[in-house]
Amino acid sequence: MHFSRMKERTIARNPMKYNNFSFALVIEETETLRLPIVALLRERGWLVHGISRAEEAFNILAHIPYDLIVLDSELPGLCGIDFVRILQNSREWRTIRLVVITSSKSASFASQIAQCGAFLARRSRWQDDLFEFLSAYGGSSRIRNAYSQMEPVE
């Protein structure tokens, strides 16, 4: 197949990925935390959506190719760890990078998050931890390649 036809087919299938946009989803119940996280990611060049419940995410995950999801561990309804497990067990969503914000100091909880392949950010230091996570890769384009090198925060 000629390159220009391959390019056209790629654009038709997923125009957002072709243009190298990087999408992030923030799932946090309270606006007082959700809005600052959204603002920080937008300042770093991400196209960001913010929602308050994990259940809402499944409706949009099928349509938007998220590279990153930042979520609260203590969400109402479907809790953060269960949401992370669903994504990690899903063929189409397991490559999405996850940052879980928590106030828990439990080593067991930190271990569960790490086993799911998510990065743990402390609620008391969420800005520093999220900034560190993002800075480690120089932006979203390298996030998939180097994510596994980061150690979870305990």
Which CATH code for domain 3-149?
3.40.50.2300
Q: Where are the domains of the chain?
A: 3-149
Closest alpha carbon to 118 in 94, 145, 141, 136: 94
- Identify the three-state secondary structure at position 51: strand
Contact between 16 and 66 (Cβ < 8 Å): no
User: How does pLDDT run across 1-40, given as a tens digit for each residue?
Assistant: 433 343 343 334 444 444 567 899 999 999 999 999 999 9
User: How does pLDDT run across 88-118, given as a tens digit for each residue?
Assistant: 999 999 899 999 999 888 888 888 888 888 9
How far, in Å, CA of 18 to CA of 8, rounded? Answer: 10
pTM of the model: 0.77
